[in-house]
Amino acid sequence: MQAIGVGFGGPWADSVGILRIAGIRQAIDTVARVKRQDVRRSESGGANNRNVQISPIPLSPQDAWGVAADGSVVVVRTGDYSLEWFGTDGTTVRGAPQPFDAVRIRTAEKEEYLAAQGRSGGGIGIRIDISNGEIQMGFQRGGGGGSPREIDQYDWPDRKPPIYSGTVLVDPLNRAWVRRHVEAGEPSTYDIFDRAGSLTATITLDNGNRVIGFGNGCVYVVRYDEFDLNYLERYALPST
């Protein structure tokens, strides 16, 4: 039995470790390190009344990772869009970087991102207040319809990273499904990689639909209608 978790190297570390717990003795080892999402940090006040605010930067580059049924870990590097497999025996397989065209972030991309965040409860902003040596931390969720006022609350990069952050799903054929960033309104796009880290296929779904898991010979997809109601759909798992 193996469990995978993320170890946090401090509140503003730019990367974190993926930890594996294995064996009867529950030995812990660091499988890999992954890049975290960029954040905005602002400070105000004096030495004894200092306010610190930390909030994530939407659509900033962040590595994605997932776990296969045999305990192997897959990491997708956002910098050069390459994929790595870390086996339970300590071996590492690295695939070649994939070419990609970084999508320019316009108003439509910002609106689409915030609408998607609103469906899942929004992103989390962190506020830290230090007053007379006492520390208080608060969390605030964001993400809604993407109004101009809401858009202006965030710092935005000029272009999208190649991939979505979060969990990389691995299907029963030991292939990693990596969701690509595309222009607003375009079909949801997934690249499929084998255990050698090679791109073997690209799958498209209706805009906004997303893969959430796999079954025996099938793939499960969530679809949203115009009222943001969720529908679970099942499709045959593609073999190539």
Question: What is the block-wise mean pLDDT of the chain (240 residues), using blocks of 10 residues?
Answer: 40 83 78 91 73 83 96 96 95 96 96 85 57 63 60 92 96 97 97 97 95 96 90 92
**pLDDT recorded at residue 60:** 95
Closest CA to 181 of 160, 156, 205: 160
- H helices present in 23-119, as ranges: 107-119
**pLDDT recorded at residue 159:** 97
**pLDDT recorded at residue 168:** 97
β strands within the chain, DSSP E: 2-7, 15-22, 27-35, 39-46, 49-56, 64-67, 73-77, 82-86, 92-94, 124-131, 134-141, 166-167, 169-170, 176-180, 188-193, 199-205, 210-215, 218-224, 230-236
Dist. CA 79–CA 64, nearest whole Å: 11
Dist. CA 163–CA 79, nearest whole Å: 10
Element at 148 (helix H, strand E): helix 148-151
Strand order in the sheet with 73-77: 92-94, 82-86, 73-77, 64-67, 166-167
Specify whether the CB–CB gap between 178 and 188 falls below 8 A: no
**pLDDT recorded at residue 218:** 97
Q: What is the domain extent for residue 12?
A: 2-236
**pLDDT recorded at residue 74:** 98
At residue 64, φ and ψ (nearest 5 deg) are -120, 155
Closest CA to 195 of 51, 86, 36: 86
Dist. CA 160–CA 11, nearest whole Å: 24
**pLDDT recorded at residue 193:** 98
Q: How many domains does the chain have?
A: 1
